[in-house]
């Protein structure tokens, strides 16, 4: 066995399904072994930002390792932003990078792709990963790989492994199987007991779930926990899509920008338990001052902060298990808040009332008339579509990828479905490669929502679909604008961008393009795009100037109010 084979077997054993890669000369030796051994399939794309986004999305949707393999310098540094996003949003992404060989480093010449020193890249990656290693010695390589991958899984954050180009074929031993870091069971039990006591003492307990619940594969167990506790459950903004379809779910908390009943329940709670919720401004910026931190219980990053004290080394999974063990099946441990009424949908809007959960309305009943399409219409169309597919046999149909822009806010009006989106770090360019990542890794056809500005950043990746045998459906919110920015600052004009013909672009890239300006055209294009197989489908939705989703309008108004930004 050589170093590359040991690495690939270790990745596979820990749940990686493929290696996303773009080679270069410092990476050619290890890429050759990846291809020749076939231990994991190699999926090549066009540009490193897209590569990082695709591998990140693959990791998120499957709750397993994503792997992005690149060359030194121009490749690895080109991917930094995507890895930074994976770090911020807690996606377990393994970065493999080639590097100059040991002998060539000693020659005293500056090597091509080098920034300041040979180690500059390593130091940059220290800032965006939770552990790093250099495989420059076959005696230490297996232990380094084992440690780095363990940290990747346990912290659910990216890691970095550098392979100098004279090392990939060096003989080495296997990597030991994954062994979780032990934790103190007594500390976990004490922590769980305190959580339960505080929840029982509260008169208005609420459970908020965040992305870690998905990252650690705890959705079913947390749904069971919610039932046994009998407390209302909401997701954070970033945790949107969690507990999709579970009866206990009330909706998504968005502070002043969101559903008033949910905001009231969360901010008025005297026993708020945050499970795996990132304390980001997108989750709490629209509220922070209203949440009583003394009454807060917050489990994140293997810690549980309880009012003014903290339990360390408490994996979320262990905490959830300990809480379940303390609550007999069928029990209702806490008082239940009153169920608020569902708000009525204004009569002039597209769609019927269709409450899901207790107080969240996802509008259904798309009307295919000649009115211009609005972003909220797209949500109604998707709700009808997902109702149809949910009635089928597949429990996990049509995973959804979203970029940042009004498409992400529109997606908040789509019933919860398995979804990935950059809800906190918010890098544009995520959507298209993420949708491709979803289809490659799950084998299911994916749907992507993306703005025209974001599409221009990574849309070229679609040119790889035919070779990869995938046929995702992409909906472009084409408003000839960086609209989200314009809403924040309507008095400036630089947010206007050109109107491009994305349907023609799709045809040129080997897919099929559709154009839709009216609801009738959108219904026809969507039906045709989701029915035809074998090539990717792109719907260029021509939005009218200034047409934005209701959620974006509320969000911007809320942020301006809270932050005082004019």
Reading across the β-sheet that carries 205-209, which strands appear in turn? 249-252, 233-235, 205-209, 271-275, 296-300, 303-306, 309-311
State the binding string over 484-503 for ligand TPW (x if CB under 6 A, else -): xx------------------
Between 158 and 453, CB nearer to ligand TPW: 453
Residue 426's binding partner out of ligand TPW, Mg ion, none, with CB under 5 to 8 Å set by partner kind: ligand TPW
Neighbours of 112 (CB within 10 A): 12
CB of 202 to ligand TPW, least distance (A): 38
* Least distance CB 429 / Mg ion (angstroms): 13
Do the Cβ atoms of 475 and 373 come closer than 8 Å? no
User: According to the binding rule CB under 5 A, does residue 403 interact with Mg ion?
Assistant: no
Closer to ligand TPW by Cβ: residue 7 or 454: 454
Q: Return the number of the residue (136 or 483) whose C-beta is nearest ligand TPW.
A: 483
What, of ligand TPW, Mg ion, none, does residue 427 touch, CB below 5 to 8 Å by kind? ligand TPW
Distance of closest approach, residue 477 Cβ to ligand TPW, in angstroms: 5
Side-chain half-sphere CA neighbours of 38 within 13 A: 0
Task: Using alpha carbons, select from 39, 174, 165 the residue that is nearest to residue 96.
Answer: 165
Q: Does 451 bind Mg ion (CB under 5 A)?
A: yes
Strands in 323-446 per DSSP E: 355-356, 360-361, 400-402, 419-420
Q: Does 482 sit near ligand TPW (CB under 6 A)?
A: yes
User: Could you give the string, one character per residue 395-434, with x where binding to ligand TPW holds by CB under 6 A and - elsewhere?
Assistant: ---------xxxx------------------xxxx-----
Q: Which residue is nearest to ligand TPW (CB)?
A: 451
Per-residue DSSP letter, 496: B
Q: How far is the CB of 499 from ligand TPW (least distance, A)?
A: 11
Considering CB distances under 5 to 8 angstroms, the limit depending on partner class, which of ligand TPW, Mg ion, none binds residue 454?
ligand TPW
Partner that binds at residue 484, options Mg ion, ligand TPW, none, CB closer than 5 to 8 Å by kind: ligand TPW
List of residues 6+ apart from 339 with CB closer than 8 A: 358, 359
Smallest distance from the beta carbon of 452 to Mg ion, in angstroms? Answer: 4
Q: Which is nearer to Mg ion, 241 or 453 (CB)?
A: 453
Contacts of residues 197-202 at CB distance under 8 Å and 24 or more positions apart, as own/partner, are: 198/271, 198/295, 198/297, 198/306, 199/229, 199/231, 199/271, 199/273, 199/297, 199/333, 199/334, 200/333, 200/334, 201/271, 202/269, 202/270, 202/271, 202/295, 202/334, 202/335
Please report, for residues 103, 206, 415, the alpha-carbon distance to residue 227 in angstroms, rounded to integers and kept in the order given. Answer: 61, 12, 21
Token duo for residue 336: 């239940």
Looking at 121, 156, 280, 479, which residue binds ligand TPW (CB under 6 A)? Answer: 479
Residue 40's binding partner out of ligand TPW, Mg ion, none, with CB under 5 to 8 Å set by partner kind: none
Contacts of ligand TPW in 432-461 (CB under 6 A): 451-454
Alpha-carbon span 35 to 484, nearest angstrom: 42
Binding mask 458-477 for ligand TPW (x = CB under 6 A): -------------------x
Query: Does an H or E element contain 190, and which?
Result: helix 185-201
What would the 3-class secondary structure string for 530-560 be? HHCCCCCEEEEEECCCCCCCHHHHHHHHHHH
Is the CB of 259 or the CB of 376 nearer to Mg ion? 376
CA R_g for the chain:
24
Residue from 151, 263, 410, 479 that binds Mg ion (CB under 5 A)? 479
Pick 4 or 458: Cβ nearer ligand TPW: 458
Tell me if 353 sits within 8 A of 344, measured CB to CB: yes
Count interface residues toward Mg ion (CB under 5 A). Answer: 6
Q: How far is the CB of 492 from ligand TPW (least distance, A)?
A: 13
Report in angstroms how near the CB of residue 182 gets to ligand TPW at its nearest. Answer: 40
Q: Whole-number minimum distance, CB 548 to ligand TPW, in Å?
A: 8
Minimum Å distance from CB 351 to ligand TPW? 21
Query: Is there a contact between 67 and 52 (Cβ–Cβ < 8 Å)?
Result: no
Cβ atoms of 65 and 14 closer than 8 Å: yes
Q: Which is nearer to ligand TPW, 83 or 273 (CB)?
A: 83
Between CA 205 and CA 280 the distance in angstroms is 22
Return the residue of 129, 481, 537, 551 that touches Mg ion, per CB under 5 A.
Answer: 481
Strand 93-99 to strand 159-164: parallel, antiparallel, or no bridges (unpaired)?
parallel
How many residues bind to ligand TPW according to rule CB under 6 A? Answer: 19
| 3 state DSSP class of 99 | strand
* Positions in the binding site for Mg ion (CB under 5 A): 451-453, 479, 481, 483
Binding residues for ligand TPW (CB under 6 A): 404-407, 426-429, 451-454, 477, 479, 481-485
């Amino acid at each position: 066995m050589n170093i590359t084979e040991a690495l690939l077997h270790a990745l596979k054993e820990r749940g990686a399904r493929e290696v996303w890669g773009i080679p270069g000369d410092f990476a050619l030796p290890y890429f050759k072994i990846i291809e020749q051994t076939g231990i994991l399939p190699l999926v090549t794309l066009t540009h490193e930002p897209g590569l990082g986004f695709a591998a990140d999305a693959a990791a998120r949707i499957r709750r397993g390792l994503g792997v992005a393999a690149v060359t030194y310098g121009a490749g690895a540094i080109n991917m930094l932003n995507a890895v930074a996003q994976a770090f911020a949003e807690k996606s377990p992404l393994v970065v493999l990078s080639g590097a100059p060989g040991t002998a060539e480093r000693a020659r005293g010449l500056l090597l091509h792709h080098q920034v300041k020193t040979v180690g500059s890249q390593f130091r940059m990656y220290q800032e965006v990963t939770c552990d790093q290693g250099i495989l420059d010695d076959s005696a230490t390589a297996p232990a380094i790989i084992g440690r780095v991958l363990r940290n990747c899984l346990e912290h659910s954050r990216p890691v970095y492994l550098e392979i100098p180009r004279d090392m990939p074929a060096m003989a080495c031993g296997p990597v030991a199987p994954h062994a979780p870091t032990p934790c103190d069971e007594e500390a976990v039990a004490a922590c769980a007991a305190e959580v339960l006591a505080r929840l029982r003492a509260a008169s208005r307990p609420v459970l908020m779930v965040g992305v870690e619940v998905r990252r650690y594969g705890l959705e079913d167990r947390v749904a069971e926990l919610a039932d046994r506790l009998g407390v209302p459950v909401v997701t954070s903004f970033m945790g949107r899509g969690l507990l999709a379809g579970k009866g206990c779910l009330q909706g998504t908390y968005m502070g002043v920008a969101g559903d008033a009943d949910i905001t009231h329940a969360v901010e008025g709670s005297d026993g708020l338990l945050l499970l795996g919720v990132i304390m980001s401004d997108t989750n709490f910026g629209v509220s922070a001052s209203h949440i009583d931190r003394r009454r807060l219980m917050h489990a994140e990053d293997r810690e549980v902060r309880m009012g003014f004290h903290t339990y360390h080394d408490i994996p979320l999974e262990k905490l959830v298990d300990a809480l379940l063990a303390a609550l007999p099946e069928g029990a209702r441990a806490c008082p239940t808040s009153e169920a608020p009424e569902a708000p009525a949908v204004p009569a002039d809007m597209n769609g019927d009332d269709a409450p899901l959960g207790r107080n969240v309305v996802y509008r259904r009943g798309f009307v295919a008339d000649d009115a211009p399409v609005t972003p909220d219409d797209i949500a109604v169309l998707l709700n009808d579509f997902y109702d149809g597919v949910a009635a089928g046999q597949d429990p996990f149909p049509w995973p959804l990828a979203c970029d940042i822009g009004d498409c992400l806010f529109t997606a908040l009006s789509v019933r919860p479905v398995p979804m990935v989106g950059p809800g906190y770090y918010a890098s544009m360019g995520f959507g298209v490669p993420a949708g491709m990542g979803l289809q490659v890794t799950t084998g299911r056809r994916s749907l992507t929502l993306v703005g025209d500005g974001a599409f221009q950043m990574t849309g070229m990746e679609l040119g790889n679909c035919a070779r990869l045998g995938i046929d995702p459906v992409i909906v472009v919110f084409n408003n000839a604008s960086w609209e989200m920015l314009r809403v924040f600052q309507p008095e400036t004009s630089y947010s206007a961008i050109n109107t491009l013909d994305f349907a023609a672009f799709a045809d040129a890239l080997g897919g099929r393009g559709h154009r839709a300006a009216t609801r009738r055209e959108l219904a026809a294009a969507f039906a045709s795009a989701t029915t035809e197989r074998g090539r990717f489908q792109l719907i260029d939705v021509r939005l009218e100037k200034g047409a934005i989703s209701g959620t974006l309008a509320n969000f911007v108004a809320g942020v301006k109010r809270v932050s005082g930004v004019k």
